[in-house]
Amino acid sequence: MIIKKKENWFKMLFEWKGSVLPQLLPRLLLLFLFSFLIVYSKSFLLEYNLHINPAIFTLFGIALAIFLGFRNNVSYDRFWKGRKLWGALLNDTRSLARQSITLLNTKGDKSESQNFINLLIAFVYALKHQLRNTDSAEDLNRLLPSDFKEQLDEVHFKPIIILRELGLWVKKAKEEGKIDSMAQLAFEENLNKLSDIVGGCERIASTPIPYTYSVLLHRTVYIYCFILPFGFVETLGWITPFVIVFIAYTFVALEAIADELEEPFGVQPNDLPLDAMSLMIENTLLELNDQKTIEKKTSKEYYIT
């Protein structure tokens, strides 16, 4: 994810990083050349009455803009729900880590709390990798004992198995008299919240916007843009390619942004910075247990300037 301070209005006109313009340039260039060809053939088009009344594009453009606005609202809603789930993940893991430190009767021995916190951190990284379909071995190897790590290698839903291990830790602590029934209930309440977070993230990741809906919008936008020159060639002349490209940039860019936000857990420049968020959660849990934090890693997905 790219987080930048807003420049003045003039510098923002030429902003490149974080913009969808780089990926749209080939399409806009093709449209420019097509519009240039239409203008070059103006006399032929007018002779055979192959131009279109511009008023039609005005009415259709308004409807298309409303359609695109709805599409972007749906995509941003998915993005924001994903962000709220990871914000809740931060809060709930902090609560669990604090409870493991303050409610556990270990007479000053922090090893039990450390094991629990390592499981929480591993849970966060396992969830990140599951949502992105990436390999979690590097993160889990440094956080979990080898026998439990080998057990996780055979399963697909690693966060849920780690969540079960967290529940077994609470059960063992209760059986050994290290926590009472009220503390156990508090632990279980927060563990249930983690389960809800996993389910919410999986729901977003596994339920994209219906494909036929995206195809319809995509076709409509590009057909509209490629027939625009036929409506303005008579009135705008050689300025037509520039006007058409500017109008097309607005519509095509909105569609591209919607596609990018639709999957908030991806690695596109404007997706959620899960690497940075996972590291932040790990560091705050380590600080709760009076441990040294990990230095921030450079990530291609996360820019701050």
Distance CA(162)–CA(303), nearest Å, equals 31
Domain count, the chain: 1
Distance CA(260)–CA(253), nearest Å, equals 10
In sequence order, the 6+-apart residues with CB closer than 8 A to the CB of 222 are: 252
Closest CA to 20 of 254, 225, 243, 222: 254
Higher pLDDT pick, 46 / 222: 222
Q: Is residue 164 part of a domain?
A: yes
Q: Is the pLDDT of residue 301 over 50?
A: no
Amino acid identity for residue 111 in this structure: S
pLDDT tens digits along 89-115? 999 999 999 999 998 887 656 788 899
| Pair of tokens at residue 128 | 């990140």
For the chain, count helices (H), then strands (E): 12, 2
- Tell me the CB-side half-sphere exposure of residue 21, using CA atoms within 13 A: 10
pLDDT-based confidence at 52, cuts 50/70/90? confident
Rounded to 10°, the helix 54-102/181-206 angle is 160
Which residues make beta-bridge pairs with 303? 2
Residue recorded with tokens 């990018």: 260
Contact 209, 262 (CB under 8 A): yes
For residue 214, the model assigns a pLDDT of 87
What does each C-alpha distance from 39 to 42, 131, 232, 237, 247 come to in angstroms? 5, 48, 9, 6, 17
In this prediction the pTM is 0.86
Q: Is residue 268 part of a domain?
A: no
pLDDT over 70, % of the chain: 92
Q: Is residue 105 part of a domain?
A: yes
Higher pLDDT pick, 19 / 28: 28
Q: Is residue 109 part of a domain?
A: yes
Contact 4, 303 (CB under 8 A): yes
Q: Is residue 143 part of a domain?
A: yes
Higher pLDDT pick, 2 / 74: 74
Q: Is residue 59 part of a domain?
A: no
Residue recorded with tokens 């009220």: 182
Q: Is residue 57 part of a domain?
A: no
pLDDT tens digits along 208-250? 888 888 898 899 999 999 999 988 888 888 899 999 999 999 9
Q: Is the pLDDT of residue 74 over 60?
A: yes
Q: Is residue 9 part of a domain?
A: no
Backbone angles phi, psi at 2, to 5 degrees: -105, 125
Which structural domain, as residue segments, surrounds residue 157?
Answer: 83-208+288-305
| Pair of tokens at residue 258 | 């919607």
- The single-letter DSSP state of residue 283 is H
Rounded to 10°, the helix 274-288/54-102 angle is 20
In sequence order, the 6+-apart residues with CB closer than 8 A to the CB of 294 are: 279, 282, 283, 286
